[in-house]
Structures are given as C-alpha cells and as structure tokens.
Structure 1
Amino acid sequence: MNFGLSEEQVLIVDTTRAFVEKELYPHEAQVERTGVLERDVLEQIKSKAIEAGLYAANIPEEFGGAGLDTETWMLYEKELGKANYALHWTGVARPSNILCAGNAEQREKYLLPCVAGEKSDCLAMSEPGAGSDLRGMQATAKADGDDWILNGSKHFISHADHADFAICFMATGEEETARGKKKLITAFFVDMGTPGFHVRDGYRNVSHRGYTNSILEFDNCRIHKRQMLGEVHKGFDVANNWLGATRLQVGATCLGRAERAFAHALEYAAQRKQFGQSIGKFQGVSFKLADMATEMKAAELLIMQAAWAYDNGTVSDADMAMAKLKATEMLAMVADEAIQIHGGMGLMDELPLERIWRDARIERIWEGTSEIQRHIISRALLRPLGG
C-alpha cells in the first residue's frame, strides 16, 4: 500500500476542496436555518459539479462516470464531507453503484440519466419493523404473470422526494434457516408516478438539515418483470456485490467533517487567551487536541487500508466494518471535544461545530449501526475458532 498521493489524486483533492469551499460553504447557513435546499440552488450546484467533472465520480468510466478507484473515491468523499450533507450529496450526486448491476436496458433507462444529472435515484430497504434485520422485512412483491405486485411500506428513505425512481428491496418468498424462517429478497426499479406507489413526508431529523427522508407506500403497485434488478430471491447478492463500499463512503465523509471541526479547535486553542496565555498551552486543552489528532489518524488509516484492499479484491466485511465503526465514533468524539474547547461559542451557529455535532449522531446508525459493525467484526474473529 502506497501512503503517498499520486499527481492525479492531489489534483482531485485540490479540485474537490476548492469546489466545496467556493460552491457549497456559502449556502450552508441558509440550508441549516431553513432546513430546505432550494431547487434553484440545487440545480446551480449540480450544473457546476458536472462542469467541474465532480458529478457521478464513483461510477465506472464505461458508464460515463469518472471511474475513480476506491482509494481516490474516499479522498474525494472526505473533501465533500466537510460541507452540509444535503449540499454535497444532492448537489454533487453519486448515483448508487447498484445501478451498474442492471442489464443493458436498465442501464440505459436508469443509470445513464443519473450519471448525466437528468435523473436521481433512491434506495429503499428499511422498514418500520425491519431496520438492521432486513431479512425480516414485511413489504412484499408477488408474481402475477409478466408482472409483480408490490405491497407494504418503507421508511427513512433518503431524498426520495427528489428522486425519479426507487430501487426497492421486497420480500418475494421465505426459506428455513437455523434461526427460523427468513425472507428471500428481490430488488426492483419502481418509477415515481407508478399507480399504487406513493411517497409521503418522512420525519424531522436532528442530523443533516435539508437532506430529507420519506415514507414509501405500495398498494397493489404493479410493475413489469423487466423492472427486476438481478434475479429472483437474489436481492442480497446484488446489494452485497455493489453496495459494500458505502460503509467506507460514510467513514470518509465523517473524516472530512472531523478535519473541519479539528481545524477550528486547533486555531481557537492557539489564539484564545486565558490567564495570560493561549488555552492550547493548558494540558486540559492540548491533550484533547492530541487525542483528537490520534483518533483521526487511526480512522483515516483504517478507511484507506480497506479502500486499498477493496481495489485489490482482498477486502473483508470486517475491514469495512472496522473502518465505519472507528470513523463514525471518532467523529462524535472530535465534534464534542471541539465544542468543549470553544466553550459556549462552540454551540452557536456562527460556527459549523454545532452542526457537525448534530450531524455526527446519525452516522452511528445508518449504513449499519455501531452494534451491527461490532457484530460483523466479532463474528469474523470467532468463526475460524468455531465460536
């Protein structure tokens, strides 16, 4: 593993950082205070991101994306992660990699327009009674001739109110397991406006203002078999093959936010005077900075090592779980300590710290809770020993 950056990587980091500071930071205050990302602002950012070559950077070149390798993708994500989530995720879209799993007809209809910025997708898995236990989902799809009929609901579906279609995972059967019956899952494309498919307002979220979630309802929603993604009952295979690196993506954006919070804390500690000297000279503050820097470095190494292994075909589920676990818990610690160093000013919205602190909370929940990540890690440790 090479710890240095190539010239191309340096260029991508510098370009992304400059874009974030020039095009995203100026809109943060409005989005944070209103909770709304205005459509004209979104379209403006999208247009500039496409022009800068930053749009759909995660998608392979053969499908019109930038084709970044996973290491470079994580460097890019880290820079984007420093900004308000709605601004960078919706404005500088990274279409779901799972779209690449579609057949030629599906890629033409769904993937290519997303890469071009003409359409956007949302991924629908979670349900009110099936969060981490996806194989316990209740929403169903039943075959009816050349069609499938979908019923049930999904919730916490990110930016579904802006999407043109949903990639929905539905129960299509059952199988016996050592722990009883578990659902067999199949993935489908469902276009917005399809009869029987409705998008409802979701919940007000303390994290990531402007980045919405919705409730999806299916009431005898009929779709054609051409809209199946992958094979019947093989939805988890599709997800595992194409969504694995999303945990690293979460970790990388957390690292970016931590770096922004740390930079504010470091500058404040050097400049703020108390008792005749800068507060950074007091161990109560300087040791916090040392611990923050150490945790950030540890998270970065775990993320980049897993990204390197991903590109080399040697990554394990435990590698990605460790990276996601460390980065998300590190961000919570760094955000909290950055506020503590600033004192009362850290909680004022003149600084991005209170936003970073709020946003940090969701990271230990979505894309697999910290408890799920620990389960994956411990399982990998114990299984070889029969445990």
Structure 2
Amino acid sequence: MHFGLTEEQEMIISTTRSFVEKELYPHEAEIERTGHLDMDVVREIQAKAMEAGLYAANMPEDVGGAGLDTLSWLMYEKELGRANYALHWTAVARPSNILMAGTDEQKEKYLYPCMKGEKWDCLAMTEPGAGSDLRGMTATARQDGDDFILNGTKHFISHADIADFSIVFMATGEEDTPRGKKKLITAFFVDKGTPGFSVRDGYQNVSHRGYTNAVLEFDDCRIPRSQMLGEVHKGFDVANTWLGATRLQVAATCLGRAERALQHAVEYSAERKQFGQQIGKFQGVSFKLADMALELKAANLLTWDAGWKFDQGTVTESDMSMAKLKATEMLAFVADEAIQIHGGMGLMDELPLERIWRDARVERIWEGTSEIQRHIISRELLRPLGG
C-alpha cells in the first residue's frame, strides 16, 4: 500500500492550513469571548476564501466547487477543523451535498446561490423525541392537492438562524416492518419566511461557541409539491445517497483540532522546566505525548482508509463508523491530556486548549452517538452469522 500524498494533496493541505492560521485564528478569541460570529467578519473571510479557491470546495466542479475526491476533501476538512467551528463552517462554507439531488429548477433556486455565497442551507432531521431514531419522528407532511402541509417541531438544527432555507425531513406515511410500524420519510425545501414556518433560538451549547442551533416550528405550513426533494417516501434514499460521508467529515475536523492540541503539548513539554529539566523528560509527561501521538495516528489512518474506500466504492458502514468513533474519542483524550500537561494554564483562555476540550464533547453525540457507531460496527460483524 502506498501512503504518500500527491502534489495536489500537499498543496491542498498547505494552502488550507495557511488560510486558517492567517484568516481564522485571529478571530477566535473574540468569538469565544462573546459567543457571537459577526456577519461582517464572515463576509470578509468569505470573499478571501472564494479568492483562494477554498469556498464550497466539497462540491463537484460542474457546479462551481473544487471537485475534490473524498480523501483530498477530508484532508481539507482536517485543516479547517483546527479553527473555531463557527468560523470555518460559516465563512468557508461547504453547502450540503444533498443539494445535488435537486431538480434543475431546485438547483437554480437553492444550490447555485449557496455556491456563490448568496445563501446558506441547513438540514433539519432531529426532533425532541427523535434523535438517533429518525424513523420515530412525529413531524408530518400531509398531501393536500398539489401542496403539502407541514406540522411539527425540529430542534438542534445547526446554523438555522442564518440559513435562507431548510432541507426538512418529514413523516409522510407508515410501513410495516419486522419490528413494527415505521415512518416513511420525505424531504422538502422550506424557505425562511414561508407562512407557518418559524425559527426560534435554540439552546446554549458548551461546545462550538458562535455556532448556533435553533428550533424549527411548522404550523400548517403549506408548500408546493415542487419543493419536495426527491420522491414521496424516499427521503432516506436521498439522505443515504448524498450524506454518506458526513461521519468522515466529523472525524476529519477532529483530527485537525487534536493535532493542534498535541502541537501545543509537545512545545510546552520542551519549553517548560521543573526540578531543573524540561518536563518532557519526565516519564509521566513523555508517555502522555507518546500515547497522544499514537491515538492520533490511528485515527488518521482509519479516516484516510475510509475516505479512500469511499472513492473506490468499497467503503462499508463499519469503516465510516470506526473512523468517526475513533477520531471523536481520540480528540477527547488528546485534549484532556494536553490540558493535564499544561497544568493550570491549560484551562486558561490564553490558549486554545480549553476550547478544544469543550468543543470535543459534542463530537461523540452529533452525526450519530458513539453508542450508535458501536452498534453499526457490531451489527456488521454479527450479521453474516445470523446475529
């Protein structure tokens, strides 16, 4: 097996890292202090990201994106992941790939404006009573002639406050399964400002300051059939086709933050002296560094392996779950050990470590909890044996 990077991948890494350090790092402290992302700052960075060819780099070339293969895209995500999440996600936006599932008319209305930085999208699946069990959702879309009428609530919807439209998944019927009745799901585009559709502030989150969540409420919200994404009852088909690599995206951004934390820990271990020598020479510290590097490399390899397989068409659900599980749990470990090495200074906001430590917590929950990832992995092991 060849593990070397191509010249293009090396360029993607160096260009993105340089952009992150120069354009994103300087704004982190203000966002962490205020919990607010200034949209003037977003527009300024957005223009620079477009000029650098980094904006919407996850999308295909034929719609104006960079057309990166999955592995190269994950390397790009890793470098962006070093910075405050609100900054890199909003200012260096990556529109949802699910927009590619739209009709030509829908692409004109929703996809291309996102590619140009004129609009933002958000994805709405989770409900107060339906998190990991998406087929248990209670929000509904009822057909009425050529329209659908939407009712229900979605929550934990990331950046919905700035999104110009939501891609909403609603129950449109039921089917019998060996485990009882399950909801049939359909996806819709819903524009902000549509009567019966409201967006209200969500919850204060310990992780990712400045990156907001919202509650979406639908009260007899009427939309035309033309705003249905895909076919009736086929919402999961659309999601599974176009959202397959989101777990790997989470894994990749965790790699970037873990690498930043480890770098701080190594530098501090070489500079800080106690009892007449560098603290890195004490076994209690040096072994921590070794374990941090080991876990980071293992997570890197699992993520790159899954990304490469994704492009070959050979990736399994287990491959992606292993990458997401390992990278998110590794980040928690590395962030915690980096703080331990720094002692009290690790918890001060002069360094990014306390932020990385806080931000790490949500990674084991969104895009499928660690428990869900373990369920997927074990199910793939047991299924061939009838388990």
Shorter-chain TM-score category?
over 0.9
Q: Distance in 2 between matches of 1:45 and 1:177?
A: 49
Post-superposition offset of 1:333: 0.1
Deviations 1:57-95 (A, max 9, x none): 000011111111000001000000000000000000000
Alignment match, 2:45? 45
**Cα distance change of structure 1 residues 2 and 226 upon mapping to structure 2, 3 Å threshold:** farther
Q: Distance in 1 between matches of 2:117 and 2:258?
A: 29
- Counterparts of 1:161-310 in structure 2, within 5 Å, are 161-310=161-310
Post-superposition offset of 1:3: 1.2
Larger mean CA deviation between 37-46 and 209-218 belongs to 37-46
* Partner secondary structure for residue 48 of structure 1: helix
Code of the aligned partner of 2:315: V
Q: Distance in 1 between matches of 2:262 and 2:296?
A: 9
Post-superposition offset of 1:156: 0.2
2:130 maps to 1:115: no
Q: Distance in 1 between matches of 2:177 and 2:43?
A: 48
Post-superposition offset of 1:39: 1.1
Alignment match, 1:314? 314
CA RMSD of superposed structures (Å): 0.6
Post-superposition offset of 1:330: 0.1
Q: Distance in 1 between matches of 2:2 and 2:124?
A: 37
2:67 maps to 1:70: no
Which runs of 4 or more aligned residues in structure 1 lie more than 3 Å from their structure 2 counterparts after TM superposition?
Answer: none
Post-superposition offset of 1:180: 1.2
Code of the aligned partner of 2:156: F
* Partner secondary structure for residue 28 of structure 2: helix
Q: Distance in 2 between matches of 1:325 and 1:175?
A: 31
* Partner secondary structure for residue 3 of structure 1: coil
Unaligned runs of 5+ in 1: none
Q: Distance in 1 between matches of 2:229 and 2:155?
A: 21
2:86 maps to 1:86: yes
Post-superposition offset of 1:2: 3.3
Code of the aligned partner of 2:44: Q
Deviations 1:277-301 (A, max 9, x none): 1111111000000000000000000
TM-score (norm 1): 0.99
Q: Distance in 2 between matches of 1:302 and 1:231?
A: 35
Code of the aligned partner of 2:286: S
2:341 maps to 1:329: no
Alignment match, 2:347? 347
- Counterparts of 1:89-104 in structure 2, within 5 Å, are 89-104=89-104
Q: Distance in 2 between matches of 1:224 and 1:98?
A: 19
Post-superposition offset of 1:329: 0.1
* Partner secondary structure for residue 314 of structure 1: coil
- Percent identity over paired residues: 79
Q: Distance in 2 between matches of 1:377 and 1:128?
A: 26
Alignment match, 1:136? 136
Post-superposition offset of 1:12: 1.0
Post-superposition offset of 1:157: 0.2
Code of the aligned partner of 2:54: L
Q: Distance in 2 between matches of 1:65 and 1:196?
A: 34
Q: Distance in 1 between matches of 2:12 and 2:180?
A: 49
Code of the aligned partner of 1:225: R
Code of the aligned partner of 1:161: D
Q: Distance in 1 between matches of 2:68 and 2:210?
A: 27
Q: Distance in 2 between matches of 1:47 and 1:141?
A: 38
Deviations 1:227-256 (A, max 9, x none): 000111110111011101010000000000
Alignment match, 1:362? 362
Alignment match, 2:373? 373
Alignment match, 1:150? 150
Q: Distance in 1 between matches of 2:2 and 2:198?
A: 48
Q: Distance in 2 between matches of 1:303 and 1:117?
A: 29
Q: Distance in 2 between matches of 1:295 and 1:261?
A: 13
Post-superposition offset of 1:179: 1.4
Q: Distance in 1 between matches of 2:20 and 2:301?
A: 23
Code of the aligned partner of 1:293: A
Q: Distance in 2 between matches of 1:188 and 1:125?
A: 11
Deviations 1:133-160 (A, max 9, x none): 0000000000000000000010000000
Task: Give the paired residue count.
Answer: 387
- Counterparts of 1:1-20 in structure 2, within 5 Å, are 2-20=2-20
Deviations 1:299-340 (A, max 9, x none): 000000000000010000000000000000000000000000
Code of the aligned partner of 2:143: A
TM-score (norm 2): 0.99
Code of the aligned partner of 1:19: F
